[in-house]
């Protein structure tokens, strides 16, 4: 009996001591990108300071709160296409995977895959840092408000004054 127990314990230890599944052999392991903190409005994060006590309301409606947020992105979309109803401090991908706010580019990349690849390569967006050191990437949301990402057309400036009109 003791021998069997020892054998079992040994087996258990072996399983415990297995190196974790090798991530580096997987193709799609997300590399971690160094980014500045997400550009939240002051005081809004963590969202759970309010939402931990509220059941999620999945019904698309006019909100009494967050009135600065009017969705003009993804026709027919709603908050929970991106936010996690069960923990508002994280984002959620269509496949159910949770993503933290400092990795929101993975959320955007679900639909803007080409741009995400360009961003990683430094062709889209902005990176700062040393050419031989760590590079800091700006998140997509540092430049695009996720709820209405299109840039507003610039207001045309008044035409310059003709020299002859300067009195």
Q: Smallest gap, in angstroms, from Cβ of residue 119 to ligand HEC?
A: 4
Contacting positions for ligand HEC (CB under 6 A): 38-41, 44-45, 47, 49-51, 56-57, 63-66, 69, 71, 73-75, 77-79, 81-83, 88, 91, 101, 104-105, 107-108, 110-112, 115-116, 119, 124-126, 138, 140-144, 146-147, 149-150
Q: Smallest gap, in angstroms, from Cβ of residue 160 to ligand HEC?
A: 25
Which residue number, 8 or 136, has a Cβ lying nearer to ligand HEC?
A: 136
3-class secondary structure, 141: helix
Residue 137 · residue 119 · CB < 8 Å: yes
Which residue number, 7 or 143, has a Cβ lying nearer to ligand HEC?
A: 143
Which residue number, 5 or 154, has a Cβ lying nearer to ligand HEC?
A: 154
Q: For residue 88, what are the CA distances in angstroms to 24, 52, 54, 78, 142? A: 30, 8, 10, 14, 20
Q: Smallest gap, in angstroms, from Cβ of residue 100 to ligand HEC?
A: 10
For 97, the token pair is: 């995977």
> Would you call 167 exposed, middle or buried from its count of C-beta atoms within 10 A (0-12, 13-18, 19+)?
exposed
For 166, the token pair is: 């300067």
């Amino acid at each position: 009996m003791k021998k069997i127990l020892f054998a079992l314990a040994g087996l258990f230890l072996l399983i415990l001591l297995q190196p974790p599944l090798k991530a580096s052999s997987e193709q799609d392991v997300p590399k971690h990108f160094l980014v500045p903190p997400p550009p939240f409005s002051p005081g809004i994060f963590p969202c759970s300071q309010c939402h931990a006590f509220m059941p999620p309301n999945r019904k698309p409606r006019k909100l009494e709160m967050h009135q600065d947020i009017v969705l003009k992105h993804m026709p027919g979309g709603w908050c929970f296409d991106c936010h996690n109803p069960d923990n508002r401090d994280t984002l959620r991908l269509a496949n159910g995977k949770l993503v933290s706010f400092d990795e929101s580019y993975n959320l955007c990349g679900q639909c803007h895959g080409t741009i995400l690849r360009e961003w990683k390569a430094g062709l889209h967006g902005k990176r700062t840092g040393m050419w031989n050191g760590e590079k800091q990437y700006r998140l997509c949301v540092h430049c695009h408000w996720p709820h209405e990402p299109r840039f507003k057309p610039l207001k045309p400036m008044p035409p310059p004054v003709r020299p002859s009109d300067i009195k």
